[in-house]
Amino acid sequence: MSDENAGLCADCTFAHVVETARGSRFYRCRRSETDERFRRYPQLPVLTCEGYERTAPATGDRAPQF
Ligand code: SF4
């Protein structure tokens, strides 16, 4: 499963990617640990989700200063 097939989980801060030894890839929702409304392994692609929070962009990638 590629990230583009995961929908919102692909860049959600609560998603944890699990990869098996055979190359399968799953998205585990960490919100499910504290909120029963969320499935531990959501059915993908997730197109709408009230728990979605976009992962903050990495720091240190600032544009060069001239
Ligand atoms: S909160 Fe929603 S979008 Fe985020 S990982 Fe869980 S199911 Fe995916």
Distance from C-alpha of 52 to C-alpha of 59, rounded to nearest angstrom? 21
Distance 51 CA to ligand 1 centre (A): 6
Mean predicted confidence (pLDDT) in 4-26 = 94
Distance from C-alpha of 35 to C-alpha of 21, rounded to nearest angstrom? 29
Confidence of residue 3 (pLDDT cuts 50, 70, 90): confident
Confidence of residue 1 (pLDDT cuts 50, 70, 90): low
Query: Is the pLDDT reported for residue 52 higher than 90?
Result: yes
Mean predicted confidence (pLDDT) in 17-27 = 93
Distance 22 CA to ligand 1 centre (A): 24
Mean predicted confidence (pLDDT) in 22-42 = 96
The reported pLDDT for the residue numbered 47 is: 97
C-beta of 6 in contact with ligand 1 (< 6 A): no
